[in-house]
Chains A and B, each alone.
Chain A
């Protein structure tokens, strides 16, 4: 009872807090937990692929139906319950107010509501495994009519249909969108209205720009899909026929609505991590970010192009062949701004003074892996080669080479970089390096050989290849086993990270205020930042990347340092 009279109980401080930093950390912790769930699912179905018919340690036998559900929910989790909350929500909430020099988000209560809705969506998603019929197993793209009732989980009983794996998944995704929309509105309003005095648009750090551009792309593209998702839900629980061709519906409608959102979503996930790189690479090169303004323009261009390329996912879906050329050209064009952004980061290195601290290792590893992911995209952007490669493991390897560095290398780079700020403690760099190298090696062991499986004709989402003569032979079976053993190694390597994280939090290794000697505003605040962040509030006089300025003895000049000529 006494607790109720405390000014801040555990509940109001950590669970129902409206402080942007706590909310950012809540999103991060939930995202990390969901990454564990998604990783476990991947372990189970990868084990099944390498050793078909064997009982899986820590699971048991995996049937075809569970296999399908596991690959589906694995994809859903990694995109919507790891990538989105960690990259967009955790980074955005933690970093936006503190990097633009203000006390909190514009709408703290809406922010707290957003994280609670997100939590609810994750609970519903996990619950969907335990309803009769199990979780939805029709692929993360949820193509109807398979997902639209009548063929898998549909039940004429309204409540049974509502509590089917399919309906619960649609509901969970819809709620997740609501949470992200609330966050996105907050990002924009905060960035537009609450910047420190003197922070004109060209003085805003790239990551803040990119988080906002990502939020805009998300808000622009998600609307049609939310409408589409409701039609899908109605098909399931009310028996409507929006996607059923036997009743005048059209399954292709969903494909368009889904990919109109689904492809821009890739850039929503990519931009925050690219922002992380833009903050880390200059710091560890002691050099201004190369072509700051051009990078912002390129990102704005890519945002515009991102909504024009969706149908390249449908080259073999029976769309008009003439339309394919239009989408091929769009796909080619959108690779240009991203190539420009990556090249600018690499150019930042040239002429610098480079130290390979742990965050920088992750940043460089990210660029290296993404190079493979991006360049293999050239094969798939070609509509003709895509006739063969579509829905094979070539595609699986390709998008894991983009999304894994994006989500995990981006997250770890950010985590090792900003951890001293949000905890006030110093991580063990030796363990950080071990964590990096093991993750890097096992990731390549997991996905590189799968390119060859794809080229050999191995198609996706098959729990048992024994009836396919092209795949159930050497060396492709060995490649599967190497991939699975690497996947297990990859998962185990993350325990180094968890150990480092937890033991550091419990240790007394205090970090200094600005351990990396960075220029941006968050490093002016105490570590961890107090409620309200700054006292007094900073005034901004310069851009975010003034490293090694000529005529200045130090090699970094923080944003709040006035120009000497004006003094």
Chain B
């Protein structure tokens, strides 16, 4: 059993790997520090020692060990920073190739999904908006899903744990984020920014399907939602 939920995104594994790398540094530092803390309690117990040594620690040769430890800590920090740099850039910037463009809008208390309609462009009259509690956002697998994230009212936060992605939705701003899911399935979307009484119920799904299933879904969706003004 893994300590993380199953990763189904292209970039999720990099985040999990980063965790294990940091854990290696942390575990090492923890056990060394614990030794430095506990061992003297036994070795220098008043039962065994007659008189303490007079060491002020102001001399360089005494402080040397702490300097070494601090440099070690600083170096491991910068190793982490170096390793994570590319992953951060990958997740936080928009990929050049967007296979599907959608909008996700938060409100008290639901995630609203806006599909671009047959023209594939958001903000046109053929957009279809789904605003239903517990509804699913349909997406094709192995495709770059680029979404505009907004909020209608207060701050919410979009969290799709199985892809490791989290992003706050702020009123008055549009943030563009993306994910690419590699495995079909139904995954929880939750809100991670406290937003009121039904914050706990602000749960929807991402339904990742094969491209054929997705095509079938959008075709029937767009057929059922033909704009009244579009005659031909």
B partners with A = yes
> Are A346 and B166 closer than 8 Å at their CB atoms?
no
> Are A391 and B73 closer than 8 Å at their CB atoms?
no
> Are A151 and B196 closer than 8 Å at their CB atoms?
yes
B98 near A: Cβ within 8 Å?
A: no
> Are B70 and A457 closer than 8 Å at their CB atoms?
no
Q: A137–B194 Cα gap in the complex (Å)?
A: 8
Question: Among the interface residues B25, B45, B50, which one has the most CB atoms of the partner chain A within 10 A?
Answer: B45
> Are B54 and A550 closer than 8 Å at their CB atoms?
yes
Residue numbers in A under 8 Å from B23 (CB-CB): 379
> Are B4 and A469 closer than 8 Å at their CB atoms?
no
Contact partner, A339, options B55, B69, B81, B196, Cβ 8 Å: B69
B87 near A: Cβ within 8 Å?
A: yes
Of the 9-residue stretches A121-129, A352-360, A525-533, which lies at the interface with chain B?
A352-360
Q: When each residue 523-557 of chain A gets 1 if its CB lies under 8 Å from chain B and 0 otherwise, what string results?
A: 00000000000000000000001011110000100
> Are A343 and B70 closer than 8 Å at their CB atoms?
yes
Residue numbers in B under 8 Å from A152 (CB-CB): 196
> Are A378 and B40 closer than 8 Å at their CB atoms?
no
> Are B81 and A332 closer than 8 Å at their CB atoms?
yes
Q: A456–B168 Cα gap in the complex (Å)?
A: 20
CB within 8 Å of B: which of A285-299?
285-294
Contact partner, A468, options B54, B88, B195, B203, Cβ 8 Å: B203
Of the 9-residue stretches A100-108, A380-388, A439-447, A511-519, which lies at the interface with chain B?
A380-388
Residue numbers in B under 8 Å from A155 (CB-CB): none
Residue numbers in A under 8 Å from B66 (CB-CB): 291, 340, 343-344, 347
> Are B56 and A317 closer than 8 Å at their CB atoms?
no
B167 near A: Cβ within 8 Å?
A: yes
Contact partner, A145, options B26, B37, B171, Cβ 8 Å: B171
Contact partner, A469, options B57, B74, B173, B188, Cβ 8 Å: B188
> Are B4 and A455 closer than 8 Å at their CB atoms?
yes
A17 near B: Cβ within 8 Å?
A: no
Closest chain A residue to B205, Cβ basis? A469
Contacts A294-B63, A344-B57, A555-B51: A350 and B44 contacting too (C-beta < 8 A)?
yes
Q: A417–B81 Cα gap in the complex (Å)?
A: 42
Q: When each residue 114-149 of chain A gets 1 if its CB lies under 8 Å from chain B and 0 otherwise, what string results?
A: 000000000000000000000001110001111000
A246 near B: Cβ within 8 Å?
A: yes
Contact partner, B22, options A68, A143, A382, Cβ 8 Å: A382
Q: A250–B92 Cα gap in the complex (Å)?
A: 22
Of the 9-residue stretches A82-90, A212-220, A258-266, A367-375, which lies at the interface with chain B?
A367-375
B58 near A: Cβ within 8 Å?
A: yes
B193 near A: Cβ within 8 Å?
A: yes
> Are B173 and A318 closer than 8 Å at their CB atoms?
yes
> Are B52 and A332 closer than 8 Å at their CB atoms?
no
B224 near A: Cβ within 8 Å?
A: no
Closest chain B residue to A349, Cβ basis? B40
Closest chain B residue to A288, Cβ basis? B56
Closest chain B residue to A356, Cβ basis? B41
Contact partner, A368, options B14, B37, B63, Cβ 8 Å: B37
> Are A354 and B197 closer than 8 Å at their CB atoms?
no
Q: A294–B64 Cα gap in the complex (Å)?
A: 12
A463 near B: Cβ within 8 Å?
A: yes
> Are A293 and B58 closer than 8 Å at their CB atoms?
yes
Of the 9-residue stretches B110-118, B149-157, B211-219, which lies at the interface with chain A?
B149-157
What's the minimum C-beta distance from B49 to chain A, rounded to whole angstroms? 4
Contact partner, B52, options A146, A286, A340, A391, Cβ 8 Å: A286
CB within 8 Å of B: which of A320-372?
321, 324-325, 328-329, 332, 335-336, 339-340, 342-344, 346-356, 364, 367-368, 371-372
> Are B44 and A391 closer than 8 Å at their CB atoms?
no
Closest chain A residue to B77, Cβ basis? A332
A498 near B: Cβ within 8 Å?
A: no
> Are B172 and A250 closer than 8 Å at their CB atoms?
yes
Residue numbers in A under 8 Å from B230 (CB-CB): none
> Are A391 and B157 closer than 8 Å at their CB atoms?
yes
> Are B199 and A462 closer than 8 Å at their CB atoms?
yes
A566 near B: Cβ within 8 Å?
A: no
Contacts A316-B166, A346-B33, A353-B44: A456 and B153 contacting too (C-beta < 8 A)?
no
Contact partner, A385, options B18, B92, B200, Cβ 8 Å: B18
B165 near A: Cβ within 8 Å?
A: yes
Contacts A146-B155, A378-B22, A384-B15: A462 and B200 contacting too (C-beta < 8 A)?
yes
A467 near B: Cβ within 8 Å?
A: yes
Residue numbers in A under 8 Å from B136 (CB-CB): none
What's the minimum C-beta distance from B228 to chain A, rounded to whole angstroms? 29
> Are B91 and A387 closer than 8 Å at their CB atoms?
yes
Q: A391–B155 Cα gap in the complex (Å)?
A: 13
> Are A461 and B194 closer than 8 Å at their CB atoms?
yes
> Are A151 and B154 closer than 8 Å at their CB atoms?
yes
Residue numbers in B under 8 Å from A144 (CB-CB): 154
A415 near B: Cβ within 8 Å?
A: no
> Are B56 and A290 closer than 8 Å at their CB atoms?
yes
> Are B46 and A459 closer than 8 Å at their CB atoms?
no
Contact partner, B91, options A328, A343, A384, A555, Cβ 8 Å: A384
Q: A371–B73 Cα gap in the complex (Å)?
A: 13
Question: Among the interface residues A64, A292, A343, which one has the most CB atoms of the partner chain B within 10 A?
Answer: A343
Q: A335–B157 Cα gap in the complex (Å)?
A: 28
Contact partner, A470, options B77, B92, B161, B175, Cβ 8 Å: B161
Q: A491–B162 Cα gap in the complex (Å)?
A: 36
Question: Among the interface residues B29, B57, B89, B153, which one has the most CB atoms of the partner chain A within 10 A?
Answer: B57
What's the minimum C-beta distance from B172 to chain A, rounded to whole angstroms? 2
> Are B172 and A251 closer than 8 Å at their CB atoms?
yes
Contact partner, B81, options A288, A321, A382, Cβ 8 Å: A382
Closest chain A residue to B88, Cβ basis? A384
Residue numbers in A under 8 Å from B157 (CB-CB): 316, 391
Residue numbers in B under 8 Å from A336 (CB-CB): 70, 73-74
Q: A500–B155 Cα gap in the complex (Å)?
A: 47
CB within 8 Å of A: which of B70-117?
70, 73-74, 77-78, 80-81, 84-85, 87-89, 91-93, 108
Residue numbers in B under 8 Å from A372 (CB-CB): 30
Residue numbers in A under 8 Å from B30 (CB-CB): 371-372, 375
Question: Among the interface residues B62, B93, B168, which one has the most CB atoms of the partner chain A within 10 A?
Answer: B168
A-B contact pairs, 16 of them (CB 8 A): A64-B199, A146-B195, A151-B196, A294-B58, A332-B78, A344-B57, A344-B66, A346-B33, A352-B52, A382-B22, A384-B91, A387-B164, A455-B3, A455-B4, A457-B161, A459-B159
Given contacts A346-B37, A371-B37, 8 further A-B contacts (CB under 8 A): A321-B93, A325-B88, A351-B52, A392-B192, A455-B19, A456-B4, A457-B161, A460-B194
Closest 4 CB pairs of A and B: A245-B172, A290-B57, A457-B161, A291-B57
